[in-house]
Amino acid sequence: MRPKITIIGAGFVGSTAAHWIAAKELGDIVLVDIVEGIPQGKGLDLLESGPIEGFDLHVKGTNDYADTAGSDVIVVTSGAPRKPGMSREDLIKINANITRDCVSKAAALSPDAVIIIVNNPLDTMAYLAKQVSGFPKNRVIGQAGVLDSARYRTFIALEAGVSVEDIQAMLMGGHGDEMVPLPRYTTIGGIPVTEFIGAERLNAIVDRARKGGGEIVNLLKTGSAYYAPSSATVQMVEAVLRDKNRVIPCSCYLEGEYGLNDIYFGVPCVLGAGGVKKIVELPLNDDELALMKKSADVVKSSIDALKAM
């Protein structure tokens, strides 16, 4: 019996994630959205590409959460983007209501699933999803570090003129502006990145990676990134369903790791069947620890704002 993957939100990120999942034949897909016709149409369209692309799986678009019952993985992409003039607290309130509704409905029907949160503010929504679902911490994970590190690796490859396949990089901390780069743990073919790129250029690359989402929003004018975010999400789905034990950065619930408690925060982890198998604690220098604290303070303030609502 094939695994079952529910994707909540049939927008660009959700529908593109469904596309990647189908191409990799990871399992049957249920695409859920509140707008009638959108998930049904996109689901049918994707299903009809199967004879051409050669994948044998089922794709169903629906507005009914009953169709999601028994899912192995639940991906939550539903949420509003931050708009000009909107405060962080405004965004938290809007997306908290959406996340609470989605997770409560889906989790009740798939009590053994792994939940992957993609909507923003990422770490805060992952925290909320854990509270609402009642799932153990290893089965509620936020997707952020995979995306941030992919952007980082892309810009390093462009700068150094090398293949992205040879770049290994690790980022930690909150998503986006709050991410913590770790150049000491960045290599190209096993060689420290500093042998290829000078400190000034590397700092510029780090800054561009931090603002990667905003750069795309500014270019698109209307809308935001979806190819890389959905691809990053599907890497996590694949790691879980195929028990790949990938060592990748994810937003995980911390209970003392890195000196942090009661917070979802981007850290390296071993991701496989059942979700997070292990959180990897790296030795950090004083500068890195200072950046970690600054990032954690921002995430904690967001979580505190959620608790106060």
Separation of alpha carbons 175 and 302, rounded Å: 12
- Which residues on neighbouring strands pair with residue 28, listed in sequence order? 4
In 3D space, the residue among 169, 157, 160, 167 whose CA is nearest the CA of residue 197 turns out to be 160
Count of H helices and E strands in the chain? 10, 14
Q: Residue 82 has what DSSP assignment?
A: P
Q: Which secondary-structure segment (H or E) carries 149?
A: helix 145-160
- Percentages (nearest 5) of helix, strand, coil residues in the chain: 50, 20, 30
Report the C-alpha dihedral over residues 218, 220, 225, 226, rounded to 10 degrees: 170
Separation of alpha carbons 14 and 32, rounded Å: 9
Active site residue 175: yes
- Which residues on neighbouring strands pair with residue 200, listed in sequence order? none
Tokens of 296: 């954690």
Question: Are 7 and 115 spatial neighbours (Cβ–Cβ below 8 Å)?
Answer: no
Angle subtended by helix axes 88-109 and 286-307, to nearest 10: 80
Q: Which of 151, 175, 210, 300 is catalytic?
A: 175
Q: So which residues are the catalytic ones?
A: 175
